[in-house]
Amino acid sequence: MSFSPLTSRLIEALTCLPGVGPKSAQRMALHLLDRDRNGGEKLAQTLQLAMDNIGRCQRCRNFSESEVCQTCTQTSRDASLLCVVETPADVIALDQSGGFRGYYFLLLGHLSPIDGIGPEEIGAPLLDQRLAEGEVKEMVIATGTTVEGEATAHYLSEMARRHGVVASRIAHGVPMGGDLEYVDSNTLSLALKGRKRLE
């Protein structure tokens, strides 16, 4: 005895979501069938629409249903600043901080030769072309602090140099409100190296 064939197929299909195993998928399927048919209908339609229509922005590579995304069409931004990040979530986080008013470029990953992710995969040709346009004066590199993130940052700074563009890296250090004793030693060492003279 098991669930009806269609219920089983729904449970199976739900496991494509990250962090959802067979048990959670079962709970989700039963919840939708039992208590939220409207939500399920809406999810099905929105999902179909999203899968069919969302592509990449031709300028920054962020997800967008139009050829050029909303952010890239905003003229209020400073075109001399370009921030290079790994993921769409990074863009949201940086923009919400309010500390950056330029444009963004998404790598959608980082260089990782072992996984077959080279310059092509992270959109290097498109970025190269963008820098060649000559509008960008400073490229803020905000890739992760992993080994791959650092290697990618190095690769990007070389590219910026070729175009005569200033490359900068966001600062790493102790988070605001962070107690020193709870900060890991790598971060502390970076924070010490990056110390600033008080005026």
Residue 108 binds its own copies (CB under 8 A): yes
Residue 32 binds its own copies (CB under 8 A): yes
Residue 5 binds its own copies (CB under 8 A): yes
Out of 51, 114, 171, 180, the only residue in the binding site for its own copies (CB under 8 A) is 51
The residue (of 109 and 119) whose beta carbon lies closer to its own copies is: 109
Residue 112's SS3 state is strand
Cα(48)–Cα(8) distance, integer angstroms = 20
Structure-token pair, residue 54: 């969302």
Out of 48, 73, 80, 189, the only residue in the binding site for its own copies (CB under 8 A) is 48
Residue 177 binds its own copies (CB under 8 A): no
Cα 111 versus chain centre, distance: 14
Token look-up 């920054």 returns: 60
Out of 9, 67, 134, 147, the only residue in the binding site for its own copies (CB under 8 A) is 9
Q: Which of 195, 150, 141 is nearest to 168 (CA)?
A: 141
Helix (H) or strand (E) holding 124: helix 124-132
Q: Which of 198, 190, 133 is nearest to 165 (CA)?
A: 133
Q: How far is CA 34 from CA 24, 28, 29, 157, in A?
A: 15, 10, 8, 54
Cα(114)–Cα(148) distance, integer angstroms = 11
Residue 43 binds its own copies (CB under 8 A): yes
The residue (of 6 and 192) whose beta carbon lies closer to its own copies is: 6
Residue 112 binds its own copies (CB under 8 A): no
Residue 6 binds its own copies (CB under 8 A): yes
Token look-up 């030769």 returns: 113
The residue (of 112 and 187) whose beta carbon lies closer to its own copies is: 112
Distance in Å, CB of 132 to its own copies, minimum: 25
Cα(21)–Cα(126) distance, integer angstroms = 38
Distance in Å, CB of 24 to its own copies, minimum: 7
Binding stretches for its own copies (CB under 8 A): 1-7, 9-10, 12-14, 16-19, 24, 26-34, 36-37, 39-51, 53-54, 62-66, 69-71, 87-89, 91-92, 95-96, 108
